[in-house]
Amino acid sequence: MKIWLVAFTYISLFLNIGCFSTSSKENVDTNSKNNMEEQIEESLALKYAEPFKVIDQYFDKSLNVYTFTASPKANDDIVFEGNYDERESNEQKKILNDGYPNIKYSYQAGVYFESLFPNKELKHEAQASVYSKYDHTYGTLVPEWDEYLEDRKDGSTIRMNCYFFEVPDQPYHQTVVTLFGIMETLHEKYENNYSVYAGFWPKGFLEDKNLEDLTFGFEATKQEDADDLLSVMQYLAKVVFIKIVNGTLEGLDEEKLFELIKDFNKNGPTPMVEF
């Protein structure tokens, strides 16, 4: 009995030590991760003068820095990535290659773009992408998109993607009228430098699919992008890409726009229609 009792005691002690070691390691890893997230959040707040929440972070061995995903606490719909170098002694240089300003502008431009669709019953997807050579002053807020418009530098690009779930069959179809009206508004707001990409699905297509499982346009991935799905399955009915550069809309109306949509794929897609 004594032998069994001693053996059982040693085994129990060994198991307890093993559990304690595993638990301690997990706690250390968790604390280390939380500490790194806090450091990144602090550096972001110092750079942009507003609080942030780090969603995820990991150490990238190929870059020898941390890669993180974060959102401003004021709006968790804005999600951006960046790098963090903990070895850098200069606080202002710890945050590297983060896309916060352009991601913020893309989100806000997208919200504005979506607001231009007057017929909420018209099935569609809409989003925007902004690239600007924004020169940020450390320790200050990134201005709102509408505030920055007048000051944006040459070389900025403003792109809108919209997807309709019905192919227009006449010049004054609701999709054509909506698209043309939106372009007039965009032209006034963005003056003469923006582009619009419009894709059209056959009516009823994708109705049996969950659109929340698909990504569109600028957020697309090869496996989930609706455009990729349509192209591979050859279901893409029509597409038109119109770029407005230093011009006007005088040569474009609903009938002309309809002709562009109708004829765009006749002999294969062309790079763009430029005004």
CATH number at residue 144: 3.10.310
Using the Cα atoms of residue 16, residue 21, residue 26 and residue 32 in order, give the sign of their dihedral.
positive
Cα–Cα distances in Å, from 248 out to 48, 108, 112, 143, 232?
A: 37, 25, 21, 29, 36
Q: Quick one: tokens of 32? A: 């280390």
The sheet carrying 273-274 orders its strands as 124-131, 157-164, 193-200, 238-245, 273-274
Residue 200: predicted pLDDT: 86
Residue with tokens 């029509």: 238
Of 73, 96, 119, at which residue does a domain stop? Answer: 96
How many whole angstroms separate alpha carbon 23 and alpha carbon 130?
46
Check whether residue 78 and residue 202 sit in a common domain.
Answer: no
Cα–Cα distances in Å, from 9 out to 17, 20, 149?
A: 12, 16, 74
Check whether residue 80 and residue 140 sit in a common domain.
Answer: no
Check whether residue 59 and residue 123 sit in a common domain.
Answer: no
Check whether residue 88 and residue 160 sit in a common domain.
Answer: no
* pLDDT tens, the chain, 275 aa long: 444 434 444 445 454 555 555 555 455 455 666 899 999 999 999 999 999 999 999 999 998 999 999 999 999 999 999 999 999 999 999 999 999 999 999 999 999 999 999 876 788 888 899 988 889 999 999 999 999 988 887 778 888 988 888 889 999 999 999 999 999 999 888 876 788 888 888 777 767 766 666 666 665 545 556 666 555 555 567 778 888 776 778 888 999 999 888 876 554 444 456 55
Whats the size of the chain, residue-wise?
275
Q: What does pTM read for this prediction? A: 0.79
Q: Are 163 and 201 in contact (CB under 8 A)?
A: yes
Of 34, 62, 96, at which residue does a domain stop? Answer: 96
Q: What angle do CA 96, 216, 66 make, to 5 degrees?
A: 20
Range of the domain at 66: 2-96
Check whether residue 88 and residue 51 sit in a common domain.
Answer: yes
Check whether residue 137 and residue 242 sit in a common domain.
Answer: yes
Of 96, 129, 148, at which residue does a domain stop? Answer: 96
Q: How many domains does the chain have?
A: 2
Check whether residue 92 and residue 111 sit in a common domain.
Answer: no
Q: Are 84 and 40 in contact (CB under 8 A)?
A: yes
How many whole angstroms separate alpha carbon 55 and alpha carbon 273?
40
Check whether residue 31 and residue 61 sit in a common domain.
Answer: yes
Check whether residue 61 and residue 188 sit in a common domain.
Answer: no
Cα-based torsion angle of the residue sequence 105, 108, 112, 117 in order, rounded to the nearest 10 degrees? 110
Q: Quick one: tokens of 154? A: 């040459």
Check whether residue 111 and residue 227 sit in a common domain.
Answer: yes
How many whole angstroms separate alpha carbon 180 and alpha carbon 256?
10
One-character DSSP codes across 84-135 = E-TT-SSGGGSEES--HHHHHHHHHHHHHHHHT---TTS-EEEEEEEE----
CATH number at residue 67: 3.10.450
Check whether residue 89 and residue 105 sit in a common domain.
Answer: no
Check whether residue 25 and residue 156 sit in a common domain.
Answer: no
